[in-house]
A and B are shown apart, each in its own frame.
Chain A
Amino acid sequence: MSFFITLIAALFFSVVAQEFIPALPWLYGARIYLLPIVFFYSALAMPPAAMFVLAFISGFMWDAMTVQWVDGTVEVSLGWSIILYAILGAIMSGFRPLFQRGRWEIHCLASGFFTAVILLSEFLMITFRRGDFIVSKMIGWRIGGAGLAAALLAPVIYFILSGIGSLLGYPVRFSQEDEKRP
């Protein structure tokens, strides 16, 4: 339970921290997002029920920080990201047994890929609302670059959160004895 609360705090502070990370001008303005990396770690470390709670919190915070209210309308409804996080988190949960056997690269690769999926979904939603389907190198890099940055940063987040988990008595890895048990 204490690790679950720690993960909620980590999600909140990742939202705050990512506000201060500037865009990467050499990567066509791609951004570094911490919230998805922390969430996808949670999806692998926590059982599905807890993952859905964290998906709600993550999606809500993401939308609360980004949803635009313009001329009396909301461009993308508050709540879309929750669905997105829940679906992607459910897919991640499928890799949980591998993750528990210590396969840290699952978190790394999936964080990168799913971060790009989140941005692509956002792009498609605003394109649907605004019209003008734009395909450009810049948009590709903004989506793919953010995914790449997330994949590169994921191992750092993984080792920090795994360390905290161990300290709090919630080791995400199964020991060899655990694996032998029926």
Chain B
Amino acid sequence: MNRLTIPAVILLVVAVGGLFMMSVRTTQKVQADFLGIIAPFLKTGSRMEARFVAYREGLKSLDQLEVENKQFRVEISELKATNQTLRDLEVENARLRHALEYRERSPFKLVPARIIARDASTWWNTVKIDKGSDDGLDSDMSVITEDGLVGKTTTIAKNAATVLLISDENCKVAAMIEGAREQGIVRGERTSTNAEPEISLNFLPKSTRLQRGQKVLSSGVGGVFPAGMALGVVNQFEVRPLDCRATLTPTVPLTTIQDVFVVVGKK
């Protein structure tokens, strides 16, 4: 055995022991500091990804143009690529304009943020956004879009933050059914993926009867999430021995959203 191995193992054990003994606050701070370090790379990666998508769209057009006219293939593909970029900008412009209108209409003070990375973990559903404590964000703030509730902030770095999505099993939201008195708890499913997010409405009274398509809103109980935010629509409903449960389809397209708002207060 190498003479350095034993000191390395001892150092490792001491370091891990130190990490285990850290308080929750310190753990969160360490995590936030690491997020702060990695955030510029995630932002750069996010920009590169957007450019790559635009470029790839341009190449798709190239294939079509080759069939039509081989002579002008290169020239046309360049024009197509430029057009695609402009179209992307147009779509982005429309999306941001729509978001701005919502921000003005909303009764909350909202901080607009962009998703820079979708969590790569298997068992947790989170996203990273490009705003942090420098923009007034704190942990346990609601994150919304004009379509409904997205989740809440957890780890806050200076220039980035982690958002726990409503499709995560750990994100529990007090909920009510639109036009009814019944209340329950909405939470994500452990087997829910980023590809197919699923949420469920649990602990409904035994007398509840729900129909497919009924809307479920946040009730505001608990204080973290504002009341009246859309969570999902009923997809399936089942009566269990002690309570009732409904499977919901989230109203916010959690896999494709790009822009969100963080609720930092009321107007």
Q: A-side interface residues toward B, CB under 8 Å? A: 13, 15-23, 25, 28-31, 33, 47-50, 52-53, 55-56, 60-61, 64-70, 72-75, 77-79, 82-83, 86, 119, 122-123, 126, 130, 132, 134, 136, 138-139, 142-143, 146
Contacts and interface: CB of A to CB of B under 8 A. Distances in A.
Interface of B: 1-2, 4-5, 7-9, 11-12, 15-16, 19-20, 22, 24, 27-28, 30-31, 34-35, 38, 41-42, 45-46, 49, 117-124, 126, 128, 139, 154-155, 164, 168-171, 190-191, 193-196
Nearest to B12: A52
Contacts of A52: 5, 8-9, 11-12
B12 A20 contact: no
Contacts of B9: 52
B121 A56 contact: no
Given A16-B45, A69-B31, A70-B164, 18 more contacts: A15-B38, A16-B38, A29-B193, A29-B195, A31-B122, A48-B1, A50-B8, A52-B5, A68-B126, A74-B27, A78-B19, A78-B31, A79-B19, A82-B12, A126-B123, A134-B191, A139-B191, A142-B193
A28 B20 contact: no
4 smallest CB-CB distances across A and B, nearest first, come from: A29-B193, A79-B19, A49-B4, A49-B8
Nearest to A28: B193
Contacts of A53: 8
Nearest to A35: B120
B169 A78 contact: no
Nearest to A83: B16
A122 B2 contact: no
A79 B122 contact: no
A49 B164 contact: no
A68 B126 CA distance: 9
A66 B31 CA distance: 9
Contact of A19 (B28, B31, B117): B117
Given A69-B154, A134-B190, A18 B2 contact: no
Contact of B195 (A15, A20, A25, A60): A25
B8 A48 contact: yes
B114 to A, nearest CB: 14
Contacts of A49: 2, 4-5, 7-8
Given A70-B154, A72-B24, A65 B120 contact: yes
Contacts of B118: 19, 22
A64 B120 contact: no
B219 to A, nearest CB: 18
B133 to A, nearest CB: 15
A31 B12 contact: no
Given A28-B193, A86-B12, A130-B190, A64 B42 contact: no
A19 B128 contact: yes
A16 B42 contact: yes
A19 B120 contact: yes
A50 B9 CA distance: 10
A83 B9 CA distance: 11
B195 to A, nearest CB: 4
